[in-house]
């Protein structure tokens, strides 16, 4: 880090207040109609800010954040990577797709270990989200793994399929599981036995994050590993039964299930087996990876831990080495904004609640855990509520704002960043009244932060990592369907300057995106951006 340095920005006049970056998670700019929860919410503060001079729109999806195409929605992980890195790096789906297509994934040591297990009678278990949402996984990656299993003479495969309903339609599970089960039947020839063995909705089974609710992981462990769960003859039978029993239920909250034959689970994990988690996004992959990798895990009683080989499609936390084995190398993100600011001696403060704490720390810092420089940085996590967020759409915004206001008043920090998770986490529920309250909560937090900043003569940079609350439903042939996924809408970029010692103006880039924010923060703090960073959104006039 000592080799990094930032040059002073010519013509810049220092000021005493901090630069505060507010990430309104999931607050995009959508059409001005009643489907848009941001537009429908009462947001006097945001409305006034958007009329200012230092306001523009940023691209927050697709190629602008390293995803394969502009048809891919953004997400919080790649968004915060871009915000903190100042450049665009090839991300999860793109990396995995390239490695599977080139065959590099199958020359890895992890894949060779898998083949060693299966060649001596072990079963390969594939766990992951069955959808084409391309946020946590893509079903095409599963099919590529299955095709390679055929080429490598893997005789026995069990798929443990997690049900989406969040990055895709809220009740679209059969659109993915029906063709998957058909494909597995077609592959089950020439001595091969390929089947779906278990599953469950992603918010109920396996995919917890940030230690919010380990019972979610426990339910996954019991279904996938132990074969404990409600029995059904197939995944499609399970899904249809749950639909029939509770028409109001959406896929992400579907209870776990186990596929059985002759009253016995078809996919219990045993000694000598191999397991691959094919989700590429890290946050909701870490806890289940720990359950497989850690001999002394205490978060729940695993009952039985088989002697098997476990690998992720990627490594989900490089610093903590989670998991120990992986199929595809992660993106190497170096020289992040945080590293440069620490090298320049800038004191910083990062805060969010549990649901997004990793985003303002781990993802912002280029997929690295822990502090860059503990003497200069303070990281604060506010524990999230353990309820569905439509029931408490205010979440922990007030508590976060309390601490940010205190941090501003303290004068101890030159750079403060925070994530208000409401627009995204409540947006994922698809409950319109809750979404509007969530956005209004963010607006109230902005009001309090801006008052605190005005008192000390600071600067606010307000943006978002992607859209979500800006589309609550879609309308097809007069029928509304809840929209619970991220959007591909642009996000706002607002700069509110309360010190007025520098005359900034927009640089009017042709296609600004999230990766331009890091250089902008450098300028606001009085530095030129590193030469290879994407250019600043501002210039001194």
Residue 320 pLDDT exceeds 90: no
The sign of the CA dihedral 381, 384, 390, 392 is negative
Residue 447: pLDDT band with limits 50, 70, 90:
very high
Residues 6+ apart with CB under 8 A from 325: 109, 110, 113, 309, 310, 311, 312
Do the Cβ atoms of 429 and 390 come closer than 8 Å? yes
* Beta-bridge partners for 415: 19, 348
For the chain, count helices (H), then strands (E): 16, 20
Please, what is the Cα angle at 501 between 498 and 506, to 5 degrees? 75
- In tens, the pLDDT along 198-242 reads 999 999 999 998 788 999 999 999 999 999 999 999 999 999 999
| Cα 328-4-283 angle, rounded to 5 deg | 35
How much is the pLDDT for 254? Answer: 98
Do β-strands 538-540 and 504-506 pair in parallel, antiparallel, or remain unpaired?
antiparallel
350: three-class secondary structure by DSSP: strand
Domain assignments of the chain as residue spans, ordered by start: 19-90+332-540, 93-328
High-pLDDT (> 90) share of the chain, %: 88
Q: Which residue is catalytic, options 35, 76, 347, 536?
A: 76
- Is 326's pLDDT higher than 80? yes
Helices assigned H by DSSP within 350-483: 354-358, 397-410, 422-425, 432-456
Look up 410 and say whether it is catalytic: no
Judge contact between 460 and 52, C-beta under 8 A: no
Residue 318 pLDDT grade (very low, low, confident, very high; cuts 50, 70, 90): low
Query: Which residue in 52, 68, 88, 74 sits closest to 491, CA to CA?
Result: 74
- Smallest CA-to-CA distance from 524 within 432, 416, 377, 450 is with 416
CA atoms within 13 A on the CB side of 325: 18
DSSP strands (E only) in 51-96: 55-58
Maximum distance among all Cα pairs of the chain, rounded to whole angstroms: 78
Closest to 374 (Cα-Cα) out of 403, 410, 342, 417 = 342
More confident position, 19 or 93: 19
Tell me the per-residue pLDDT of 75-121, one tens digit each, with 9 for 90 and over.
Answer: 898 999 999 999 999 887 889 999 999 999 999 999 999 999 999 99
pTM: 0.76
**Do the beta carbons of residue 356 and residue 421 sit within 8 Å?**
yes
Q: Which two tokens stand for residue 489?
A: 């809408």
Neighbours of 272 (CB within 10 A): 15
- How many Cβ atoms sit within 10 Å of the Cβ of residue 187? 17
Q: Percent of the chain having pLDDT more than 70? A: 99
The predicted pLDDT at position 475 comes to 87
Q: Is the pLDDT of residue 476 over 90?
A: no
- 368-418 confidence digits (pLDDT tens): 889 999 999 999 999 999 899 999 999 999 999 999 999 999 999 999 999
Please, what is the end-to-end C-alpha distance for the chain in angstroms? 32
What CATH code is assigned to 93-328?
Answer: 3.40.1450.10
Q: How far is CA 60 from the centre of its chain?
A: 13
Q: Do residues 131 and 139 lie in contact, with contact meaning Cβ atoms separated by under 8 Å?
A: yes
Beta-bridge mates of residue 381: 352
Fold agreement (19-90+332-540, 93-328): no
> Does residue 134 contact residue 74 with C-beta atoms inside 8 Å?
no
Q: What is the mean pLDDT of the chain?
A: 95
pLDDT of residue 1: 43
Tokens of 11: 């013509």
Q: Which residues, at least 6 apart from 435, have a Cβ–Cβ distance to it below 8 Å?
A: 37, 41, 393, 423, 426, 427, 429, 469, 472
pLDDT beyond 50 at 307: yes
Architecture of domain 19-90+332-540: 3-Layer(aba) Sandwich (3.40)
Q: What is the mean pLDDT of residues 491-504?
A: 95
Helix-strand-coil percent breakdown of the chain, rounded to 5?
Answer: 35, 20, 45
Name the region of 319 (left: φ>0; alpha: ψ -120 to 50; beta: rest): alpha
CA 316 to chain centre: 11
Of residues 360, 348, 418, 430, the one with CA closest to residue 389? 430
Are 23 and 418 in contact, with CB atoms under 8 Å apart? yes
User: What is the arithmetic mean of pLDDT over 280-305?
Assistant: 95
More confident residue, 94 or 473: 473
Q: Which two tokens stand for residue 354?
A: 């549990």
The pLDDT tens digits of the residues spanning 154-175 come to 999 999 999 999 999 999 999 9
**In the predicted model, is pLDDT for residue 496 greater than 90?**
yes
Closest of 299, 182, 144, 278 to residue 224, by C-alpha:
278
Question: Is residue 366 over pLDDT 60?
Answer: yes
Question: What are the beta bridge partners of residue 519?
Answer: none
Q: Which of 521, 465, 481, 483 has its CA nearest to residue 24?
A: 465
Taking the CA atoms of residue 400, residue 351, residue 293 and residue 277 in that order, the dihedral angle to the nearest 10 degrees is 90
Reading phi first (left if > 0) and then psi (alpha if -120 to 50, else beta), residue 220 is in alpha
CA distances from 296 to 246, 290, 308, 317, 322 (A): 38, 10, 16, 19, 15
What is the C-alpha separation between 359 and 288, in angstroms, rounded?
A: 19
On whether the CB atoms of residues 256 and 205 are closer than 8 A, the answer is yes
Residue owning tokens 């990430």: 23
């Amino acid at each position: 880090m000592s080799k990094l340095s930032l040059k002073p920005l010519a013509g810049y006049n220092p000021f005493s207040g901090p630069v505060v970056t507010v990430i309104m998670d999931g607050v995009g700019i959508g059409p001005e109609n009643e489907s848009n929860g941001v537009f429908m919410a009462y947001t006097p503060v945001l409305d006034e800010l958007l009329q200012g001079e230092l306001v523009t729109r940023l691209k927050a999806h697709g190629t602008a954040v390293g995803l394969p195409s502009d048809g891919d929605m953004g997400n919080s992980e790649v968004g915060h990577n871009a915000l903190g890195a100042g450049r665009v790096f090839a991300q999860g789906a793109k990396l995995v797709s390239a490695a599977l297509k080139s065959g590099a994934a199958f020359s890895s040591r992890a894949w060779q270990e898998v083949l060693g297990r299966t060649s001596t009678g072990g079963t390969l278990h594939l766990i992951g989200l069955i959808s084409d949402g391309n946020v946590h996984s893509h079903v095409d990656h599963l099919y590529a793994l299955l095709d390679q299993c055929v080429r490598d003479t893997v005789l026995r495969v069990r798929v443990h399929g997690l049900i989406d309903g969040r990055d895709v339609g809220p009740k679209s599970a059969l659109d993915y599981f029906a063709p998957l089960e058909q494909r597995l039947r077609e592959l089950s020839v020439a001595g091969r036995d390929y089947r779906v063995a278990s599953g469950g909705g992603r918010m109920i089974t396996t995919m917890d994050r940030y230690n919010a609710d380990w019972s979610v992981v426990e339910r996954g462990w019991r279904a996938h590993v132990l074969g404990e769960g409600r029995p059904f003859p197939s995944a499609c039978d399970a899904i249809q039964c749950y639909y029939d029993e509770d028409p109001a239920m959406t896929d992400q909250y579907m209870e776990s299930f186990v596929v059985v034959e002759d009253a016995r689970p078809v996919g219990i994990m045993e000694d000598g087996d191999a397991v691959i988690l094919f989700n590429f996004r890290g946050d909701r992959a870490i806890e289940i990876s720990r359950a497989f990798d850690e001999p002394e895990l205490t978060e729940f009683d695993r009952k039985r831990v088989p002697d098997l080989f476990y690998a992720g499609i990627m490594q989900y936390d490089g610093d903590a080495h989670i998991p120990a084995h992986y199929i595809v190398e992660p993106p190497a993100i170096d020289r992040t904004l945080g590293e440069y600011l620490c090298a320049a001696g800038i004191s910083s403060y990062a805060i969010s609640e549990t649901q997004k704490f990793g985003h303002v720390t781990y993802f912002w810092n280029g997929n690295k855990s822990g502090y860059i420089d503990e003497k200069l940085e303070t990281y604060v996590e506010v524990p999230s509520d353990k309820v569905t967020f439509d029931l408490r759409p205010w979440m922990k915004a007030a508590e976060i704002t309390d601490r940010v206001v205190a941090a501003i008043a303290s004068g101890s920090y030159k750079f403060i960043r925070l994530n208000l998770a409401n627009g995204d986490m409540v947006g994922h529920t698809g409950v319109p009244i809750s979404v509007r309250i969530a956005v209004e909560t963010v607006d109230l937090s902005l009001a309090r932060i801006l008052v605190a900043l005005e008192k000390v003569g600071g600067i606010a940079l307000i943006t978002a990592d992607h859209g979500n609350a800006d589309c609550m439903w879609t309308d097809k042939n007069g029928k509304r369907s809840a929209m619970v996924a991220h959007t591909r809408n642009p996000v706002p970029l607002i700069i509110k300057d309360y010190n007025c010692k520098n005359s900034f103006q927009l640089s009017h880039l042709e296609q600004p995106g999230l990766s331009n924010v890091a250089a902008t923060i450098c300028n606001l703090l009085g530095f030129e951006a590193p030469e290879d960073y994407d250019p600043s959104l501002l210039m001194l006039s």
